[in-house]
């Protein structure tokens, strides 16, 4: 039997940590590789995972998706260690300095759209983005472009027509078409870069399926729902969330997007682990849901994406990739 090798990019707490634990609970013969920025934190997590799943293999690769040289170096390390990858979980993401639009918040509370507002945060959040050392908008590079470069680097390990591999993205219900523009793919001129980056993720998912399915590589997007993680604690102080929790538990009876815990939020990510990728609809986003009584399930939702726009976006990313490779080659030559 060939051991499946899932690579997970991103933080090793919250949904990422819950996902690792749940995958090993499903199959503790997995070889799980964590691609993380902080090696000491990753080491502690690896030790904890191996303590509860001693027959598993858990390895670590240092990688920061907001630094493209780090992505390329990390991918080279992965290619040295493995011959193929069965799953690549693309979970890293940031929402820097989120600001709550109080006017929209209080207007929404007293409207018929209150549940939709809480479950999607539509129109509620703005972020202050910044430029990375690579010259990109930080949210764009961290949430999308770093992952794209990683996929391109790992193509030889992912593309096997005889036995398909899966890309599994963490997107969001907050991915809104109105926040994305082909003329400003990095959302440099807007105030909702997180929403823009997640819509860009949905577009890229569609384009990747169009361009790679025949090579044995399939892509899917998920949304974990409203989960209490460092991302949400950045929006409101933890004590406010504690006060809101009874309301959130009540809202679960009307809107199942309030998954609350990282374990529940990882439901769609784990569900996709068991699916045949050829049977999945590339225009569907898979949503984690939790009922008022605490039962987890997965629901498919058609995405508001245009396939032609997705293809144009993909070609734009390929052009950006060419520029990045020239820059990296010059940097390596000088060093």
Catalytic residues: 194
* CB distance 88 to 158 below 8 Å: yes
215 token code pair: 């090579």
Angle between helices 307-334 and 146-153 (to 10 degrees): 80
Relative to beta strand 99-100, strand 125-126 is antiparallel
- The secondary structure of the chain, three-state, reads CCCCCEEEECCCCHHHHHHHHHHHHHCCCCEEEEEECCHHHHHHHHHHHHHHCCCCEEEEEECCCCCHHHHHHHHHHHHHHCCCCCEEEECCCCCCCCEECHHHHHHHHCCCCHHHHHHHCCCCEECCCCECCCCCEHHHHHHHHHHHHHHHHCHHHHCCCCCCEEEEEECCCCCCHHHCCHHHCCCCCCCCHHHHHHHHHHHHHHHHHHHHHHHCEEEEEEECCCECCHHHHCCCCHHHHHHHHHHHHHHCCCCCCCCECHHHHCHHHHHHHCCCHHHCCCCEEEEEEECCCCCEEEEEEECCCCHHHHHHHHHHHHHHHHHHHHHHHHHHHHC
Best CA proximity match to 206, nearest among 301, 287, 313 = 313
């Amino acid at each position: 039997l060939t051991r499946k090798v899932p690579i997970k990019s991103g933080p090793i707490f919250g949904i990422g940590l819950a996902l690792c634990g749940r995958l090993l609970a499903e199959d503790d013969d997995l070889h799980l590789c964590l691609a993380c920025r902080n090696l000491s934190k990753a080491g502690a997590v690896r030790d904890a995972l191996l303590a509860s799943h001693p027959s598993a293999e858990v390895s670590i690769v240092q990688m920061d998706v907001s630094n493209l040289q780090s992505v390329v170096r990390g991918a080279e390390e992965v290619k040295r260690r493995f011959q193929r990858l069965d799953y690549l979980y693309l979970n890293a993401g940031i929402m820097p300095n989120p600001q709550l639009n109080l006017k929209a918040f209080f207007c929404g509370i007293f409207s018929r759209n209150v549940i939709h507002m809480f479950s999607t945060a539509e129109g509620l959040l703005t972020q202050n983005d910044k430029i990375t050392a690579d010259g990109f908008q930080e949210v764009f590079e961290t949430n999308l472009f770093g992952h794209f470069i990683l996929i391109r680097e790992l193509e030889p390990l992912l593309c096997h027509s005889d036995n398909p591999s899966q890309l599994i993205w963490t997107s969001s219900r907050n991915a809104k078409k109105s926040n994305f523009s082909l003329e400003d793919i990095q959302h440099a001129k807007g105030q909702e870069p997180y929403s823009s980056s997640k819509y860009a993720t949905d577009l890229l998912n569609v384009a990747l399926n169009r361009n790679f399915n025949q090579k044995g590589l399939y892509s899917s997007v998920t949304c974990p729902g409203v989960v209490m993680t460092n991302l949400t604690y950045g929006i409101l102080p933890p004590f406010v969330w504690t006060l809101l929790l009874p309301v959130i538990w009540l809202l679960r009876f009307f809107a199942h997007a309030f998954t609350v815990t990282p374990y529940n939020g990882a439901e769609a990510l784990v569900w996709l682990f068991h699916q045949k990728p050829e049977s999945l609809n590339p225009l569907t986003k898979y949503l984690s849901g939790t009922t008022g009584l605490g039962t987890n399930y997965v629901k498919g939702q058609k995405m508001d994406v245009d396939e032609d726009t997705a293809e144009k976006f993909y070609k734009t990313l390929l052009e950006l990739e060419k520029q990045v490779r020239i820059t990296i080659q010059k940097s390596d030559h000088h060093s």
